Structure 1
Amino acid sequence: MGYIKDIPTLKGYNYEEWKRELDLAFILGEVDWVLTTPCPIEPADLVRGEKESDAEWQKRERNNAPLIMSYDIEHVKWSLANKNCLAAVKDTIEPTILGSIPEYDTVSKYLESIKSQFTGSSKFYATQLIKQLVTERYHGGGVKDHILRMSDMASKLKPMDLGISDDFLVHLVMTSLPKNFDNFVVNYKISLEKWNLEELISNCVQEKERIKETNGASNNLVKDNKEKSHWSPPLKAKQPQHLPQ
Structure 2
Amino acid sequence: MYKDPPAALTIASTSEDIKYHDEWHRLNRVCKNIMKRTMSETIRGSIEEKELATEFLVSIGERFTESDKAQIAILLNKLMNTRYTGSGTVREHILKFVDYAAKLRTLKNPVSDEMIIHHVLNSLPPSFEHLNTTYLAQKDKWNINELISICVQVDDRIKKEKGEKVVNLTGKSKWKGNNQKGKKKFNPKTALAPASESKVHKPYQTKCYFCRKPGHLKKDCTGFKNWLLKKGIHKEEDPKK
Q: TM-score, normalised by structure 1?
A: 0.50
| Distance in 1 of aligned mates of 2:113 and 2:132 | 16
- Pair 1:179 & 2:145 matched: no
Question: Hey, what does 1:162 align to over in structure 2?
Answer: 109
Amino acid at match of 1:151: V
Post-superposition offset of 1:133: 0.9
The higher-RCO structure (CA 8 Å, 6+ apart) is 1
| Distance in 2 of aligned mates of 1:137 and 1:205 | 16
| Distance in 2 of aligned mates of 1:195 and 1:149 | 12
Amino acid at match of 1:177: L
Amino acid at match of 1:133: L
8 A contact 2:79–2:97 mirrored in 1? yes
Amino acid at match of 1:42: A
Amino acid at match of 2:144: W
| Distance in 2 of aligned mates of 1:162 and 1:217 | 45
The 5 A counterparts of 1:91-110 are 91-94=37-40, 97-98=43-44, 100-110=46-56
Q: Comparing both structures, which one devotes a greater share of its residues to helix?
A: 1
What value does the CA root-mean-square deviation take over the aligned residues? 4.1
Identity of aligned residues (%): 33
Amino acid at match of 1:195: I
Bigger radius of gyration: 2
8 A contact 2:9–2:18 mirrored in 1? no
- Pair 1:148 & 2:95 matched: yes
The 5 A counterparts of 1:190-205 are 190=138, 191-196=140-145, 199-205=146-152
- Pair 1:41 & 2:21 matched: no
Number of equivalenced pairs: 168
Secondary structure of 2:144 counterpart: coil
Question: Hey, what does 1:232 align to over in structure 2?
Answer: none
Distance 1:41 1:112, change over 3 A: same
Unaligned runs of 5+ in 2: 169-241
Residue deviations 1:133-190 (CA, integer Å, cap 9, x gap): 1232323333234223333433443443335454543332123223332332344453
| Distance in 1 of aligned mates of 2:156 and 2:81 | 25
